[in-house]
Structure 1
Amino acid sequence: MKVEARLFDITTAFFFVSAVVYGAWAKEPVGLVALILTGGLSLIIGSYFHFVARRAEQRPEDDPDAEIADGAGEMGFFSPGSYWPAGVAASAGLTAVALAFMQIWLIVIGGVVLLLTVGGLVFEYHTRPNVTE
């Protein structure tokens, strides 16, 4: 996580330096505010990565002397074939189109379908706990 934290530190510095240069040069407030807010959001993400990096064990990506083979092994479980992401994308698209045309009834339908498909994606491999009495 230290690598990601450094990347966001660099982007945060870039946005704040850009805001100073833009504010001195352009004299236009909207772009200045946008750059400051973008730098602030980047600072939030970088701070989160610093927070997590202190508590997580060191990964091979964080070790400058690591070999490629150090990162080998199981990375986690990935669904071999799930249709839920397509449903999430379709329902998010429906909701976005409904928002674009400001159709309240379609926004409600799209939001409900979006929540159902996200729930299906999250709980796709969830099984009941084995309760033995």
Structure 2
Amino acid sequence: MRVQAFMFYGSALFFLATDIVYWLWSKDWTGTTALGLAVGLAGLVGFYVHFTVRRLEAANGGPLYEDDPEGEIADAAGELGFFSPHSWWPLYLGLSAAAVALGVVFGWWLVILGVAAALLSTIGLVFEYYRGHFAH
């Protein structure tokens, strides 16, 4: 996965060069700012992937199977992680976000209720597996 990190670093450099050329030719603040944000976002994703790969390699004791040129498909076999089988919390979170969006149209009281519902839904989503039937 180190290749993906360098791909995002390369994208950040490309956006930076494009941003400089765009500013010199157009003197437009809007496009320059948008390209500057693209530089930051590509660099941020590249840094995150690079940091995560380093951490996984340290935990694994060597390079990951994706980076092994002699690797086989069977090297990736095994448990990949825990994935939630079902959850109602994303529905509640989406309804809360809809209430916030509609509150901007109909009244600020609905925004306040939507934000409170979104906060409770986020807490419920994060702590879903700390209680009840699925607690571990």
TM-score range, shorter chain: 0.7 to 0.9
Q: Does 1:116 align with 2:120?
A: yes
Query: What's 1:31 paired with?
Result: 31
Tell me, yes or no, if the aligned pair for 1:3 and 1:61 is still in contact at 8 Å. no
Q: Which has the higher contact order (CA 8 A, sep 6+)?
A: 1
Q: Does 1:126 align with 2:130?
A: yes
CA drift at 1:63 = 2.8
Ranges in structure 2 where 5+ consecutive residues have no aligned partner:
58-62
CA distance in 2, matches of 1:25, 1:64: 44
Query: What's 1:105 paired with?
Result: 109
Query: What's 2:100 paired with?
Result: 95
Ranges in structure 1 where 5+ consecutive residues have no aligned partner:
none
Code of the aligned partner of 2:80 = M
Q: Does 1:64 align with 2:69?
A: yes
**2:128 match: secondary structure:** coil
Query: What's 1:45 paired with?
Result: 45
Between 1:33-42 and 1:48-57, the stretch displaced more is 48-57
- Calculate percent identity across the aligned residue pairs: 43
Query: What's 2:60 paired with?
Result: none
C-alpha spacing 1:103/1:65, structure 2 compared with 1 (3 Å): farther
For the aligned residue pairs, the C-alpha RMSD in angstroms reads: 2.5
CA drift at 1:19 = 0.6
Query: What's 1:55 paired with?
Result: 55
Moved over 4 A (4+): none
Query: What's 1:9 paired with?
Result: 9
CA distance in 1, matches of 2:38, 2:70: 34
What TM-score do you get using the length of structure 1 for normalisation?
0.79
